[in-house]
Amino acid sequence: MTLPEPEDRAAKVQRILEAAVRVFARQGFHQSTVAQVAREAGVADGTIYNYFRNKDDILIQFFAVRAAQVFARFRSTVGRGENALDKLRLLLRAHLEEFQRDPDMAVVYETETHQIQRLAEEQIRSMAKTYQDILAEIIEQGQEEGLFRRNLYTGLVKRLVLGAVQETISSWLRSGRPYDLVSMADPLVDLLLYGIAQPASGPGGRPAGASQT
């Protein structure tokens, strides 16, 4: 059997991955078949096996490929921030934009969480670590700039931010997506930064040092 040239192979793999996530989002991972993925991608059933071992492998590779793309965009976006507050706001906005841009990915990630973790544990762990590393850099910068408290429990802050963003995405999906997910970014950042207490000082009801990106 002659394998395709590298360029053809990369393009076809991408097409199959994109088709697969559409099928998984509509059907659910367990109910989906390789034949359905092949039909959605416009290839023969047997062609799938030139690139993937099975349906599980498709899911694993999808998240491995997408994670690399997403985190490259996150780092590029965060790099535009002038200070740690700006960078946190930009990161969360980019996170919500990514899932709003690809709602099929959002559905698969949020509704098939346990399945994904079972099959792609290494990829999920790597994704979480990369995201938390970006957050840790932002927190450390904010402490150096005097914008964040130095007595923060960084591990707790990272889990809080990641959990809050994931719940915001889940709520958007459960609601049927009737509103702009990205519009939740600034309120979410403000809540994370300032909590629910009435601020004592600061322009616009924010503590001193806050800025609006």
The domains of the chain are located at: 1-52, 54-197
Kindly give, in sequence order, each residue whose CB lies less than 8 Å from that of residue 80, ignoring residues fewer than 6 positions away.
86, 90
- CATH 1.10.3720.10 for domain 1-52: no
Q: What is the pTM of this model?
A: 0.82
pLDDT tens, residue order, the chain (213 aa): 455 455 488 889 999 999 999 999 999 988 999 999 999 999 999 999 999 999 989 988 888 888 889 999 999 999 999 999 999 999 999 999 999 999 999 998 887 666 666 766 777 777 888 999 999 999 999 999 999 999 999 999 999 999 999 999 999 999 999 999 999 999 999 999 988 887 665 555 554 455 554
CA distance 8 to 154: 45
CA distance 26 to 184: 25
Enter the CATH code of domain 54-197: 1.10.357.10
Give pLDDT, residue 67: 85
The residue type of 178 is P
